[in-house]
Structure 1
Amino acid sequence: MTDTRPDPDALLKKAQEEERQRHRGRLKVFFGANPGVGKTYAMLEAAHEQRRDGVDVVIGVVETHGRAETESLVKDLEIIPRRRVEYLGTTLSEFDLDAALARRPTIMLVDELAHTNVPGSRHAKRWQDVQELLRAGIHVYTTLNVQHLESLNDVVAKITNVRVRETVPDSILEQAEDVELIDLPPDDLLQRLKDGKVYLSDQIRQAAQHFFRKGNLLALRELALRRTAERVDQQMEVYRRDHAVVQTWPAAETILVCVNMKPRGPRLVRAARQMAAGFHAKWIAAYVQIPRHLTLPQAERDRVVHTLRLAEQLGAETVTLTGEDVAQEVLAYARSRNVTKIIVGKPVRAWWKEWLFGSVVSDLVHRSGDIDIYVITGEAGEGRPLAAQALQRSSPTSGYRLAAFVVCLSTAVAWLMNPYFGSANLIMVYLIGVMVTAIRYGRGPSVLASLLSVAAFDFFFVPPYFTFAVSDLQYLLTFGVMLAVALTISGLAVRIRRQAEMARYREKRTSVLYAMSRDLATHRGAATLANLAAKHLREVFDSQVAVFLADSDKRLQLQRGEQLFFEFDPKEAGVAQWVFDHNERAGLGSDTLPGSSALYLPLVGSDGPIGVVAVRPEQASRVLDPDQLHLLESLAGQVALAIERTRLSEEAQRAHVQAETERMRNAILSSVSHDLRTPLASITGAAGSLLDESNRLDPAGRQELIRSIHHEADRLDQLLKNLLDMMRLEAGALHLNKDWHPMEEVAGSALARMERRLSGHRVVVLFPEDLPLLFVDGVLLQQVVINLLENAAKYAPAGSTIELSASAKEGEVIVEVADRGAGLPPGEEDRIFDKFYRAKPTGEGGVGLGLTICRGIVEAHGGRIWAEHREGGGARFRFAIPLPKQQPAVPAEQMEPQSA
């Protein structure tokens, strides 16, 4: 009975995938062979149909190329304005991703998926913009030509002699929920070209002579049709798997050839290749690895490797399956891949052996159902006698000696039990010994133990004793049953042992793969990831591993680390460079440079190769096995994506820093240009009036102009000083010249310098008499007080009171400047200390650096600064300076509270 229940693991994976996709937008690709077939027109028609159904549809970017019929469909749809980008002195228009995310329609139209964005954009490629839209839950309609697929780039270049520079990873098309083929016969497309419906008139002649030749159009059309057919076939397989369909749907021919360790494997592979070519079908070469194969000689296991590699070279997909029942595994896989024909080799064993031991071919024929089975005759002499298989030594000689010892030990135990127990119990002792032997030492020693156990039981415990003669013929049945049971137990024990070994191997590989994925996901830095990748690959494949990464000049550099001990000579380095340049694997076991001591695989990212991984195995079969090779390629892909991810993260960080630097530069220029212009204009005007001899000023007027020049020059000096102090803080060039200072002295110097600036306010100073000394840079701390007083004077109304006070508590001195101004903007208590931040216009200049400088100086002293709202209106600015554990032995001066 066939089990048609879905695989629980597959159901769990499907549920997890549906959960991930639930909040993700759906992608629909209008796919075509060439420009001009009508992809954009079809996309707009689909958009209008959705709009009529009440769906919110917005155009993000659509290229009409001046086609009137396309432009007519654009008019009735909402369009997001494009952003303008300056590049090399030219203004370009690009898709505004931020505006699209803010608008958040149900469906966004984004034309020309392969487009390259202007340098400086958030993403280098438009398909990356589309990915961000999908992650935001926005459905996307887009267009794509077949020549823009990354995997077909070389094929298109050979056909058209044109290298397409803008490409899209195949995974993007594979992620699309819907791919609609927009097809047009080459003759009709050429007519559209002549009618000016594809390019402008000045481009028609050049296009017709180069890319738009009929042969090119036919070839590209075939590529598009084939790729679409593959996509439909993948969708059908997904549907069959999701709905647990076990019957074969012969919508297209798929051939599966079964290979094993027999010499006829290459012949089966070549026959399958011929059949696949005749049916124009895809074909698969499958090998089922059962536990017994792990004990076979290396030569026979290598034969499977070579057969599968031959199948790959002839264009087959190869797969290695594991299980106990070969026919069951083959048929289960064939139904999962919708296989219509299975090719197997004809058995060469005698009929009685097939009847006794079974036949894979017979099982396939009886269980295949609607799948056709083709049996091909093998060469004579391919079979191996059963006796040869039984006598093949699969264990070391010590195992046989230990088997004999276990039988002797069992005989000794049975001899002690003989006076008290019957013969059946003595037989149990021997069966236990056989089972232990099978578990510990394998099949060969267990068979020997079974035979010796029967002989020992006959010799020691069956009358006449100490001879192999049998007086009662009933014991012959006992011997037969005992031998059969012993052999069965040994066979089952060996099978369990092998299954346990395979389970341990799979568990080890799974744990290593999990550890590798976890490490690659949680670490950053190309060199760190290269070291981690080499470490894990070495554990999986028992090989020496090295990772090369390309520098800015596309030259490979060996990443050396703890696990990268693999040294290369110049020839080996040349192989690695060839693999990187040609994006193909080479070296050991490949068709290119097979004399190399290692196998080299390219590390391919979304935009091409980024490096090379080299593997030098202890045993070539560990890597050259197609199943292992596919695993290696998958791991190399993970490593490439991890390294590319960390590089993109670093580039994004650099871009962010660059953008912040640019923003800061613009802010500085804007602030400085405005705030410096005002005092310079005042100084220039006043100085011009003084120099004008025709303008006769009285002494009072001249004095006023001179005071104005002095005031504006002092203001200009303060602005420049703030800028220089900020530069010193950010450059880390601020050095503290600490000494013991009373806070009263620091405050007094600051008030003296601010006397003129504070003349319109009443200043109250409240300092306690026992205020301890501070170990600070007096000049810098004085600048903090000056900046806080100037800030208070700027925002407090004329005639109001400004309070300057200090207190000592909990190991620090807290200084406060309070005013009765407009107060702080709600929620801006921390932001006011940011660079270039100004709460509100006051009519006075300033670049918004005074409070930032205060914070830098206070934090350099190990202190803290903050701002608070003041009850009754106004603001309080406080900073705290930590007190040293010990005060100097100098009497503190007393300072009376001052008022001004």
Structure 2
Amino acid sequence: MTATAGPRSPRDLGRLRGELRVLLGAAPGVGKTYAMLDEGHRRAARGTDVVVAVVETHGRRRTAERLEGLEVVPRRSVEHRGTVLEEMDVDAVLARRPQVALVDELAHTNAPGSRHRRRCGDVEELLAAGISVITTVNVQHLESLNDVVASITGVRQQETVPDSVVRAADQVELVDMAPEALRRRLLHGNVYPPERVEATLSSYFRPGNLAALRELALLWVADRVDAALALYRDEHAIAASWPTRDRVVVALSGGPEGADLVRRGARIAGKGAGGELHAVFVARSDGLVERDPRALAEQRRLVEDLDGSFHTLTGEDPAEAVLDYARSVNATTVVVGQSRRSRWQSLLRAPVSQRIVAGSGDIDCHLVTHRWAGRGQRTVPVPLSLPRRVVAYVLAVVLPVALTALFALTPGWTEHEVPLLTQLAATVLVALVGGLLPAVLAAVVGNLLVNFWLVEPRLSLTVADSRDVLSLLVFLLVGLAVSSVVQAAARRTREAAAARAEADTLLALTRHGLATDASVASLLEQVRDTFSQHRVELRVRDVPTAPWRVEHAVGEEVGAGGPDGQDRPDRPDTELPLDDLSGFALYGRGLTASEQRVLTAFGIQAVVRMERRELAETAAQADTLAARSAFQTALLAAVSHDLRTPLAAIKTGLSGLVDEDVELDPATRRELLLVVQRSAERLERLVANLLDMTRIQMTSPAPELDAVLVDEVVRAAVHALPHVAGRVELARSELLVRTDPGLVERVVANVVDNAVRHQPEGSPVEVRYEADGDRVRVLVVDRGPGISRERREQVFQPFQRLGDRPARAGVPEGLGLGLAVASGFAASVGATLTPTDTPGGGLTMVIDLPAAR
């Protein structure tokens, strides 16, 4: 099977671009490379300049033999991590400039450092230079089918090529082989070495896998052929249908019979391989269309469940719109339902189904009967306003009487047809004002008055002339015709106003939906205001058989008294299911069908917002879990490294102390005890920071706020650090702060400990205090190397040791958690921790606490 692109445009010809021919296979071993070399030999025999740019023989003897007689461009060598890789030498091929280059394995990934990441990029460069290329690729390497192939074979291909590259080829030829024949090739050793045959036959090359891969390849090439055919038909303005594949178009009217038509169309499309199902609904271009929105929504879902596509078209003539669509997709069959119109309604205009059948031409039509056929489409009359009808009835009596009196008192007019014409005009006027019944009344009254006062014999209702009977009938027919026009105009006016109101409402809904901070509650408020309801509920349930529960609601409670002092009913006035798991309940007044259609749009927005909120919550939970997972991973890595040193020191010191074979002098024994003590203190500090950091990551510490002296809190924190004794200079203060003294002690202790680590020898860390209104600042000042401004945010992240110095005597190392713990505890008590520059060099950590009143 070969797919050929349409003719090139003059612009493409002007670029002298080479032609691309792709040999597509369903699996390795079907003979793509052999077919490519065969084509190379055929072209070379015709005098074409052909070279082999790159061919992978994979040790196959027959493929290597087929290379003989063809010029092979030497490959270039690339060294990567101690391994020498051979790649196609694009520059050498460009310098050689043949007419045709044979390039194997289009989806190959080039070695690092190559000009293009994929071989398809090399091929594109050759084509741009005017060199035609014949290449090979397997269907499992197509990007769009990678997941499908992985689900079939259990093997995900790492090397893929974009579908657009293959679709842009001038020719795509399928190199096909039956699964049984390919397995025989494997058994004969023509594909893989004998030691790999048994494993491949029982895994990737199982008969079911090969059959599925073959079907994928056939369908992909068939789609490519179909696209080329559509292009050809467009370029040659061919409107007639070419039935190359079963494409079934189902014409939907918006009525309840649509589900039956869709199922019938799906059965027709499913009779042959590759059949397509298209469902079409035509909406009138003026927006005034009678349809059941819920029925259409159900039919759309049914079409999608049957792997079809649903399309909404706009047009004045539904029959013509359906046929135009059918011809555009090259349909073979149109499925249409028998008209729901009655015989009387069909007399005015042929039903859509009949017009589709009459205009289908060479497209087959299936006319499906259903239980709603021929029942008629009732048009609910739109009543005119009461004042207008009262005026019409008054005119129906007054106008005929006034005109009759006028002609009776005017000599010479009674012998002419003028009285009848004026009475006819009066009937038309009454019909325009009040519709059918007032027009009939005006016609009867006018005719009787003319007959009684103006026609011989006068003062009698005797009809002496048959023309009087005819005039009465004319009066009635004119009144009927004009009144029907008035009723239709009134109905269309109301429909247009309703459509405009729907459009305005949907526009407001769209604007509201585009707001990023729009909530479901605000949407329900909009529903409540739009439809004048007392209460609006959005109900959900977990399964279709479960009872409803209220997820969101706005308005007055059900049963509670409203502004009018009356209790609200427990049962909603309008219930609108959106799907099996969600729906609206409205209390206030029942909604019309058109209002329910608009309410459905609101419901879709509400469901989308709930899903958006759930996705945001899920994403937030995922981020939290990812952060915790990253923290736990880093924690384990840090623990495994940093706890070893104090544990090893403790173990070594204790071993020396308890070893009875070693005589220790008092000084050495004391030194070992100090080592054990310092290591235990260091271990205690590390474990405390680990526990504190875990507490901050997993839960938010609950502070117990109290008014305390800041000086007492700071001194308690410093005294808890034995290794900083004599290295901290504390100021005195009588300032009160409102905080949790235990948590703030941990903050100060970690900040002071960090400052001592970086303070130069012989210079103490200073702790000072500042009062500023309702805030008290604790300043921990060191003269160390400081931290650059762009890196100050990083010091509060766990496991950071920015610019740490090597451990000094008496100053234990840490996990890099001290400032992270301090920042977490500070945030929990409403404090802030800010690094600033120390004048003259160094870093000052400012702990900002709320003052006690």
User: How would you bin the TM-score normalised by the shorter chain?
Assistant: 0.5 to 0.7
Distance 1:809 1:146 in 2: 63
**Residue matched to 1:202:** 198
What number of residue pairs does the alignment pair up?
Answer: 671
How far has the Cα of 1:496 moved from its partner?
Answer: 6.9
Match 2:396 to one of 408, 411, 417:
411
1:38-53 matches, within 5 Å, as none
**Alpha carbons 1:524, 1:646 under 8 Å: kept:** no
Distance 1:108 1:470 in 2: 103
Alignment of 1:791 with 2:754, yes or no, is yes
Cα deviation code 1:310-358 (max 9, x no counterpart):
99999999989786545434444444444577799999x9xxx999967
1:101-116 matches, within 5 Å, as none
Give the letter for the 1:883 counterpart.
Answer: A
Structure 2: gaps spanning 5 or more residues: 1-20, 37-55, 65-71, 82-109, 122-140, 408-417, 529-536, 554-576, 585-595, 808-812
**Residue matched to 2:683:** 716
1:350-429 matches, within 5 Å, as 371-372=361-362, 408-412=393-397, 414=399, 418=403
Match 1:683 to one of 650, 668, 685:
650
Alignment of 1:247 with 2:239, yes or no, is yes
Alignment of 1:873 with 2:836, yes or no, is no
Give the letter for the 2:242 counterpart.
Answer: P
1:430-441 matches, within 5 Å, as 430-435=427-432
Give the letter for the 2:484 counterpart.
Answer: S
Match 1:848 to one of 816, 827, 851:
816
Distance 1:860 1:142 in 2: 50
How far has the Cα of 1:843 moved from its partner?
Answer: 1.6
User: How much identity, in percent, do the aligned residues show?
Assistant: 27
Match 2:177 to one of 185, 190, 198:
185
- CA 862–205 in structure 1, closer or farther in 2 if over 3 Å, else same: closer
Give the letter for the 1:824 counterpart.
Answer: I
Greater CA drift, 816-825 or 450-459: 450-459
How far has the Cα of 1:873 moved from its partner?
Answer: 0.9
1:150-189 matches, within 5 Å, as 178=167, 182-186=174-178, 189=182
**Alpha carbons 1:818, 1:874 under 8 Å: kept:** yes
**Residue matched to 2:550:** 562
1:477-516 matches, within 5 Å, as 483-484=477-478, 487=481, 490-491=484-485, 493-494=487-488, 497=491, 501=495, 504=498
**Residue matched to 2:131:** none
Distance 2:551 2:701 in 1: 43
Structure 1: gaps spanning 5 or more residues: 1-27, 44-62, 82-98, 111-139, 151-162, 439-445, 536-543, 551-555, 566-599, 604-611, 617-627, 886-900
**Residue matched to 1:459:** 448
SS class of match (1:803): strand
Pairwise CA RMSD? 7.3
- CA 323–209 in structure 1, closer or farther in 2 if over 3 Å, else same: closer
- CA 696–266 in structure 1, closer or farther in 2 if over 3 Å, else same: closer
SS class of match (2:792): coil
Distance 1:735 1:280 in 2: 65
Match 1:808 to one of 771, 775, 780:
771
How far has the Cα of 1:827 moved from its partner?
Answer: 1.6
SS class of match (2:222): helix
Greater CA drift, 34-43 or 733-742: 34-43
**Alpha carbons 1:821, 1:874 under 8 Å: kept:** yes
Cα deviation code 1:766-823 (max 9, x no counterpart):
445xx43234444443343332222111101112242211021111211101111000
**Alpha carbons 2:787, 2:843 under 8 Å: kept:** yes
**Residue matched to 2:828:** 860
Distance 1:504 1:335 in 2: 35
**Alpha carbons 2:278, 2:308 under 8 Å: kept:** yes
SS class of match (2:767): strand
Distance 1:500 1:515 in 2: 22
How far has the Cα of 1:202 moved from its partner?
Answer: 0.5
Distance 2:282 2:825 in 1: 73
Distance 2:507 2:25 in 1: 39
Match 1:782 to one of 745, 749, 754:
745
SS class of match (1:881): strand
**Alpha carbons 1:833, 1:852 under 8 Å: kept:** yes
**Alpha carbons 2:248, 2:265 under 8 Å: kept:** no
SS class of match (2:803): coil
Distance 1:394 1:464 in 2: 41
SS class of match (1:829): helix
How far has the Cα of 1:645 moved from its partner?
Answer: 8.3
Match 1:665 to one of 617, 632, 636:
632
Give the letter for the 1:144 counterpart.
Answer: L
SS class of match (1:816): strand
Instruction: Specify the structure having the higher radius of gyration (Cα).
Output: 2
1:582-731 matches, within 5 Å, as 656-692=623-659, 695-731=662-698
**Residue matched to 1:229:** 222
**Alpha carbons 1:549, 1:558 under 8 Å: kept:** yes
**Alpha carbons 1:340, 1:371 under 8 Å: kept:** no
- CA 38–518 in structure 1, closer or farther in 2 if over 3 Å, else same: farther
- CA 828–194 in structure 1, closer or farther in 2 if over 3 Å, else same: same
Distance 1:518 1:64 in 2: 63
SS class of match (2:143): strand
How far has the Cα of 1:545 moved from its partner?
Answer: 12
Give the letter for the 1:229 counterpart.
Answer: A
**Residue matched to 1:144:** 145
**Alpha carbons 1:728, 1:734 under 8 Å: kept:** yes
- CA 659–102 in structure 1, closer or farther in 2 if over 3 Å, else same: farther
Distance 2:250 2:428 in 1: 42
How far has the Cα of 1:854 moved from its partner?
Answer: 2.3
Distance 1:66 1:546 in 2: 67
**Alpha carbons 1:722, 1:850 under 8 Å: kept:** yes
Give the letter for the 1:743 counterpart.
Answer: V
Match 2:795 to one of 827, 832, 836:
832
